[in-house]
């Protein structure tokens, strides 16, 4: 049984994860961390530094400002950490990479199995298509999402960028009257209503269009992936891991 400390347990994603974990025979939520300490089936602490419950993995679905405390606790207790939060700064990503030299760290911008399969496909086709196709990414999310573009759009964009030998640049939205440059990878963010998550990669050529699209119908897809990641990280050695390791 994998015992999990769930950071952000009383948020929207935290509640979905808790519900799914309650029906699992392979893992359980041992404790939660949240500013909202509303009682649930496990103890909830307002700060991870107050947590006195033994666990195997920390699962974080909170906010970037919680990172420092989570990494500190993980290193002190020598337990794995799964980071599902997006919107990290370059400095925070550097902290994560440095921490992975001392503890097992898992980080992914999107926990959906489907998105990560698409990401693998992009690694194989982006260089092949780049010469004759323009590349655009469109992402859609609910109106309460705080970061834009989404971490997933950046994940897909960076995969494309890293797969193409030529120098490419990100263009966020389009404004002005200049023509599109071929070396641009367009990234566009839409916010509205209760959209869970929609990502589309468009390869637009002369007379043909190739589209890769993923639509999350509910938050369950992210929760399922996150719990799979926790199981994957149980007993892992020091290092940096991602969904690429889970969907091999």
What residues form the annotated binding site for NAD(+)? 8-13, 84-86, 108-111
Residue 80 CB contacts under 8 Å (≥ 6 apart), including other chains: 56, 57, 58, 74, 103, 104, 105, 106, 233, 234, 236
**CA distance linking residue 188 with residue 123, whole number of Å:** 21
Structure tokens given for 239:
């290092």
Q: What is the largest CA-CA distance in the chain?
A: 62
Q: How far apart are CA 66 and CA 100, in angstroms?
A: 17
- Annotated active-site residue 199? The verdict is no
Annotated binding site for (S)-2,3,4,5-tetrahydrodipicolinate: 142, 151-152
CA angle 20, 238, 115 (to 5 degrees): 45
Residue 7: burial class (beta carbons within 10 Å; 0-12, 13-18, 19+): buried
Q: Which residues have C-beta within 8 Å of that of residue 52, sequence separation ≥ 6?
A: none
Which parts are annotated binding residues? 8-13, 84-86, 108-111, 142, 151-152
- Rounded to an integer, what distance in angstroms lies between the CA atom of residue 77 and that of residue 66? 17
Task: Please identify which of the residues 3, 140, 141, 199 carries the catalytic annotation.
Answer: 141
* 3 labelled catalytic: no
Q: Which of 15, 77, 120, 145 is catalytic?
A: 145
Active site residues: 141, 145
């Amino acid at each position: 049984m994998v015992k999990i400390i769930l950071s952000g347990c009383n948020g929207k994603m935290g509640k979905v994860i808790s519900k799914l974990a309650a029906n699992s025979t392979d893992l359980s939520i041992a404790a939660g961390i949240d500013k909202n300490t509303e009682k649930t089936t496990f103890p909830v602490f307002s700060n991870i530094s107050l947590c006195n419950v033994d666990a195997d993995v920390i699962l974080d679905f909170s906010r970037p400002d919680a990172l420092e405390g989570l990494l500190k606790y993980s290193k002190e207790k020598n337990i794995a950490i799964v980071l599902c939060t997006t919107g990290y700064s370059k400095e925070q990503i550097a902290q994560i990479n440095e921490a992975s030299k001392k503890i097992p760290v898992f980080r992914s911008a999107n926990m959906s199995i489907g998105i990560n399969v698409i990401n693998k496909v992009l690694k194989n086709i982006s260089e092949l298509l780049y010469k004759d196709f323009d590349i655009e990414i469109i992402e859609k999310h609910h109106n309460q999402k705080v970061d834009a573009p989404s971490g997933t759009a950046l994940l897909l964009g960076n995969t494309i960028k890293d797969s193409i030998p030529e120098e490419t640049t990100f263009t966020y939205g389009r404004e002005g009257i200049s023509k599109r440059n071929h070396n641009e990878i367009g990234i566009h963010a839409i916010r509205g209503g209760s959209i869970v998550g929609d990502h589309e990669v468009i390869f637009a050529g002369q007379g043909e269009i190739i589209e890769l699209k993923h639509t999350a119908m509910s938050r369950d897809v992210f929760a399922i992936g996150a719990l799979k990641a926790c199981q994957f990280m149980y007993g892992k050695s020091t290092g940096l891991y991602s969904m690429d390791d889970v969907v091999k």
